[in-house]
Chains A and B, each alone.
Chain A
Amino acid sequence: MLHAVNLTKKYQESLALDNLNLSIEPGDIYCLLGANGAGKSTTINLFLNFIAPTSGKAIINQIEVSKDPQAIKKLIAYIPENLVLYNELSGLENLEYFVGLAGMKYHEDEMVNFLQEAGLQDEAFKKRVKTYSKGMRQKIGVAMAIAKKARVLLLDEPTSGLDPKASNEFSELLLRLSQQNVATLMATHDLFRAKETGTDIGIMKSGKLVEQLSTEQINHSDLEKLYLNHMNS
């Protein structure tokens, strides 16, 4: 579903991403761990075609991202660390707009269902987004992914700054989407959430993927030790 083949990104002399190879299949939740500047966000930006690779390929659903970005963007949903919506519009109106940009049109009842599915409280639907908490805004992002019928989710530190309850709710939503065969690539600093939610984990350091493993292979404390070993080496 989602493949990086020798994916490299250089900025003048600095190497932001070095020969990355990874594969994510439908239903997988691949968590990229690493310090700031490790190359996690660069990887996601390359899959979104926000930046062009220096070499290598980012492939989604057998289509090279840089060759046909419009086709790719019909398949993906993106939730950044801080989902900025139009504050003067309600959650429902924001959903309608962003889903509309993806070329989809739904009746209000259907959009209410998407918001409910994403876990947003009913009374918030028609309130202006400027009154929303961060967790509520992230749920709008999930509702967008559901409404878009996205096959791939690209998440850039989506739980950063969320309280544990909101973070847990977000993880549950990801798991539900995973059961619907959605492939997820999530950059995160949250080791606990990565172990709980992810199917696979990749540890990045200085633009390189230094470790790949299945979450079933490791427990929480070993994951933390492994991560710290890589960071300290």
Chain B
Amino acid sequence: MLSLNILHETRLLSRNYWFISLSMMLLALCLYAGHNGMKHFERRQLDLQAAIENQVAKEQVVQEVALALSKGEEHPSSFRLSPTNVAIATGRLATMPATEMSKLGIGQSDLYAHQLKITSREDLATMSFNELTNPVQLLFGNFDLVFVITYLVPLIIIAFSYNLRSQELESGRLKLLASSPIRTNLWLLQRFIIRCCSLTAILTVALIVTALWIGVALSSQLLVFFLITYAYLAFWFAISYLVNILGSSSARNSISLLSFWIVIVLILPAVINQAANSIYPTPSRVSLLNEIRETKKELSEAQDQVLDEYLRNHPELIRNEGENAFGYWQGYFASQEIMEKTLAPLVDAYDQQLEKQQKWIDAWRYLSPAVLFQDGATQLAGTSSKNYNEFKGYVKSFSLNWRAHFMPFVFDNKMLDLDDLDNIPEFEYRSSIGASGIWINISVLLILSVLMALRGLGLEGKRQLL
């Protein structure tokens, strides 16, 4: 029966102008979404390139000064080799390079910074991430390929399959079909599988054409992206199959499926997020920033006192060159560390709440297949919250190392030389977020699809045809 149904569906679909138009529309949507992703990627690369060039130029100047001084020459900008200048003015650039895959899903990359200048002036609590963005865009996301697949493809699947059984029933053809020695639910499942394969093939072609156009090379990650897309498609076809079996009319099927779409794609993700905010509320960001400012102000007003207190905790830094050996910058560096310790409970509480929220969302993402797909797809694109949290962790850790590295130089009042410059810490971000977590998402989507298909088959004979 399968080969017969394949031939039958091929004939029907190839003569259906609506289906051909739908395929063309899907291709156009993918190309437009891919174009948006590519433009965003290019903007991100340009920003990164400009920041790198700016940073390289600054470091070049410092190198030139160090080189001149090493040759015994005089240089008017010798102040550039002071540890405070290198630590604060020159700094280091922490970057999170965009992968080609990020063209497929913009994800959080338009919300969070993917490049940060690390200096000893940086406030760790505020170095994350600019949250100013278009609220409408925040609600629906960017029009990229992940958006098209998450939001629009399920609607196309619904339009493509909502009446596969009810149309037969309403036209009276189902009685003719059911008078054949077939299991009607199995016959219907085969038609759904064939339609699912047809749409999958069209979407695959559209995605490959788009990927080639926007310059995403074939890679194992792209293949996993295809797989999670197929699993998501299978889920929507499976739910449509079950609704077709349980539903009695095309109108009721379409309303049921659209309700599922609203719940799965819009309501559940919003409810999960809102629940995370309610159960693990984060302290106000404004209060946090105010607290930081207040503490900073207090510490800078009492900088001498702070320096004394700091040296009591770090006696190894005490020098015997006289009381005037330590000045403003030593006090500043000391106050930075003390400020960080003072604010640590507040900042940690904020971060811990964010972490708990993320864990809550991770745990409940199984409620919504749309969240499962989006989470997996943006992870593959390297633009998920997890990627940015990981980058934030790298930045935090590097920032601490950076100041710790310069502390001895600052308290020694020692100018840096070429060797010192060579030994300045380098920032390197290597994502450890692979595809392993995504396999769980794919498996859950496939298991849900299979369970729904089996449930549909199990209803054979339990519901009367008329």
Contacts and interface: CB of A to CB of B under 8 A. Distances in A.
Nearest to B8: A97
Given A84-B172, A100-B4, A70 B11 contact: no
Interface stretch (A27-35, A43-51, A204-212): A43-51
A80 B16 contact: no
Contact of A48 (B16, B178, B182): B178
Contacts of B12: 86, 88-89
Nearest to A89: B11
B396 to A, nearest CB: 63
Interface string A94-108: 000110111100000
A83 B464 contact: no
B464 A93 contact: no
A77 B175 CA distance: 11
A193 interface: no
Given A50-B465, A80-B175, A74 B11 contact: no
B464 A51 contact: yes
B286 interface: no
Given A78-B176, A88-B15, A98-B176, A103 B464 contact: no
Nearest to B173: A84
A101 B182 contact: yes
Nearest to B461: A69
Contact of A101 (B4, B15, B464): B4
Contacts of A50: 175, 178, 464-466
Contacts of A102: 180-181
A82 interface: yes
A76 B466 contact: no
B287 interface: no
A73 B15 CA distance: 30
Contacts of A103: 181
Contacts of B466: 45, 50-51
A45 B4 CA distance: 27
A73 B178 CA distance: 9
A85 interface: yes
Interface string B454-466: 0000000000111
B177 interface: yes
Contacts of B173: 84-86
A1 interface: no
B427 to A, nearest CB: 63
B465 to A, nearest CB: 5
A75 to B, nearest CB: 9
Interface residues of A, number: 28
Contacts of A101: 1, 4, 177, 180-182, 187
Contacts of A83: 176
A85 B175 CA distance: 11
Nearest to B4: A100
Contact of B181 (A52, A74, A93): A74
B220 interface: no
Given A80-B172, A88-B15, A89-B11, A98 B465 contact: no
B134 to A, nearest CB: 46
B438 to A, nearest CB: 40
A73 B11 contact: no
A48 B464 contact: no
A73 B179 contact: yes
B11 A48 contact: no
A100 B175 CA distance: 16
Nearest to A85: B173
* Most interface-central of A74, A86, A154 (chain B CB within 10 A): A86
B171 interface: yes
B167 to A, nearest CB: 10
Nearest to A88: B15
B464 to A, nearest CB: 6
A154 B180 CA distance: 12
B461 to A, nearest CB: 8
A203 B430 CA distance: 85
Interface string A182-197: 0000000000000000
Nearest to A82: B172
* Most interface-central of A51, A85, A100, A102 (chain B CB within 10 A): A100
Nearest to A141: B176
Contacts of B176: 78, 80, 83-84, 98
B181 A73 contact: yes
Contacts of A154: 179
Interface in B164-201: 171-173, 175-183, 187
Contacts of B187: 101
Contacts of A45: 466
Nearest to A105: B4
Interface in A77-136: 77-78, 80, 82-86, 88-89, 93, 97-98, 100-103
Interface string B144-177: 0000000000000000000000000001110111
Nearest to A48: B179
A102 B8 CA distance: 14
B11 A93 contact: yes
A17 to B, nearest CB: 14
Interface string A11-55: 000000000000000000000000000000000010010111000
Chain A to chain B: the 9 pairs with minimum beta-carbon distance, closest first: A78-B179, A101-B180, A73-B181, A100-B4, A84-B173, A88-B15, A50-B465, A84-B171, A74-B181
Given A51-B466, A77-B179, 10 more contacts: A80-B172, A83-B176, A86-B12, A89-B8, A97-B4, A97-B8, A98-B177, A101-B1, A101-B4, A101-B181
